[in-house]
Amino acid sequence: MGIHKTTEKNLMVFSGRAHPALADEVAAELGTNLVPMQAHSFANSEIYVRFDESVRGCDAFVIQSHVAPVNEWIMEQLIMVDALKRGSAKRITVVLPFYGYARQDKKHRGREPISARLIADMFKTAGADRLLTVDLHTAQIQGFFDGPVDHLMATPILSKHVKEKYGDRQLAVVSPDAGRIKVAEWWSNKLGGVPLAFIHKTRDVTRPNESVANRVVGEVEGRTCILVDDMIDSGGTICQAAEALMKDGSNEVVIAATHPIFSEPAVDRLAKSVATEVIVTNTLPLSDEALAMDKLTQLSIAPLISRAIREVFEDGSVTSMFEGRA
C-alpha cells in the first residue's frame, strides 16, 4: 500500500527586472501577485536571484522581455529558470513577450550563427519545459525549441483598434516587405477583406538596420493604408515605406507594430514621419520620449498573455484564442 494524495495545481508568476510593469499587469489579470524575489548584480556585473517563497511543485511562468541591454535580461531569465528547476518547480514556462535574437533565424552568408536557435537551446538546457511568446519574427522559430511553443499574435488587439477608429474609411493593408504577406492577409480578413499591398525593398546583408524601399506593389491610391509589421527597431524601414505609400497617392498612413524596440533614432524618425498614428503594444517598455509622442498609441498585451497563461495552466487550448491559427 502506498500513500495516495491528490495534489492541487499551483500557478506562480515570476518577473525579471526588464519590464516589471507588464508582469504586474499580467499577474493582476490572473488575480494573483508576482512572487517576491531578490535580484541584484555584483560589482563585476554577475547576476544573482533568489525567490522568497517555496516553488516546490508549482506551475511556474517566468516573464521577461528582451529589451536593451538584451544579453543581461536573457541571462537573468536563464538564471531564474535554473533557480526554479533547482527549487523543484513542477513545470516551467518561459514567457517571452519579445524574443531576443529572433532576427538571427537563418544564415545569410557562411560562418554566421543562427542565434535564435541558440536562445531556444539555452532555455531548454536551463530547465524550461515550454515557451510562450508574442509575434515571432518568423513562425518557424517555434521549431527551434524542443518542446511546446505557444505563439501568440497581437493582430486581434491591434486590428480591433484600427477597425474602431478607421473602419469607416477606404482601407488597404500594407506589408513593409514580401516576407510578411501572410500576416497582412490575416489583417485584411480581420478588417473585412480590404485590399493588400506590399513594399518591394532591397537590403544589404552586410549593413544591419538598413534597407531601401523601392516601390509599392498593389493599389493604395486614395486609401488609408495600414502599414503592419512585427517590430520597429530604428524606424528607417517603416518610415521609408510610409513615404513610398504617400508618394503613390495614399490618403494617410497608419503604422501598426507589435514590438516597439525604438532604438535611436526611431522616436525622432517616427515623430517626423508622414504617418498619422503609430500603434504599438507594451511587449517592451517605452522611454519617456516615446510616450510623449503625440501620434503614439500603446495598447496592452497583458490580457492576451494572461489568457494564454490561464489556458496553459488549466490544460486548455491556446489555439482557440486565434481561430485555430496559433
Q: Looking at the annotation, which residues are catalytic?
A: 201
* Residue whose cell numbers read 518557424: 140
Count of CB atoms within 10 A of residue 294's CB? 7
Q: Which candidate, 314, 260, 296, places its Cα nearest to that of 22?
A: 260
**213 pairs with which residues across the strands?**
201
**Contact between residue 34 and residue 24 where contact means Cβ atoms under 8 Å apart:** yes
The whole-angstrom separation of Cα 197 and Cα 76 is: 41
- Between the alpha carbon of residue 10 and those of residues 32, 38, 55, the distances in Å are 11, 21, 9
| Residue carrying C-alpha cell 505563439 | 151
| SS3 state at 229 | strand
Q: Which amino acid makes up residue 197?
A: A
Distance CA 84, CA 91 (A): 9
Q: What are phi and psi of 61, to 5 degrees?
A: -125, 115
Tell me how far CA of residue 127 lies from CA of 78, 79, 139, 266, in angstroms. 9, 10, 23, 36
**Residue 141 burial by CB count (10 A; 0-12/13-18/19+): exposed, middle or buried?**
buried
What would the DSSP string read from start to end of 260-275? Answer: E---TTHHHHHHHSS-
Q: Which residues 6+ apart lie within 8 Å of 218 measured at CB?
A: 172, 174, 195, 196, 197, 198
